[in-house]
Amino acid sequence: MYCKTCGTASKTIASKISRRAQSGITKCNRLECGHAWHVETPLGAPGMDDAETATSCGCGEITTVNALLVEGRRLSADTTAFGDESFQAWSIRVLEALDGVPAESGEASLVRTATNAAKSQTSSTAKKIVDLNKLLVRAITAVT
């Protein structure tokens, strides 16, 4: 799907139907880049271009996680542009956002896994960011 924010094509990591009406359906698409878009498809319409009907997603429970994922991707892309304080502030917000998000069946709690990743003494800050970004993606798929 084309992300209007990033200006590039991005893989959909999760989607759900957020509204169904006689006129058509609205599907909420969570993208790998961290942004989310609602795509409206009229009933009986052939495959329409996502970019034509996409509107920014405002689904409450996941908006924070999307914003953190976008920020985490930015941190991951340029690890020299931030200090330990930036990482600490971001990781605290990640832990708060993951608190209460259910883990997949049979998996460890997301917040517990995130806490271990953020406080690891053996991992570099760059690795911690990558690990926390992966957990944010898992959180997105868990709540959609």
Domain limits of the chain?
A: 2-58, 62-143
Per-residue pLDDT tens for 52-81? 678 887 776 667 787 888 888 888 777 666
Q: Is 21 helix (H, G, I), strand (E, B) or coil?
A: strand
**Nearest alpha carbon to residue 35 among 19, 52, 13:** 13
Q: What angle do CA 114, 117, 118 make, to 5 degrees?
A: 85
Phi and psi, residue 50, nearest 5°: -55, -35
Q: Cα separations (Å) of 44 from 28, 47, 93, 112, 120?
A: 19, 9, 43, 45, 52
Q: Is the pLDDT of residue 48 over 60?
A: no
The H helix count followed by the E strand count for the chain is: 5, 6
Q: Is the pLDDT of residue 143 over 60?
A: yes
Average pLDDT over residues 106-134: 87
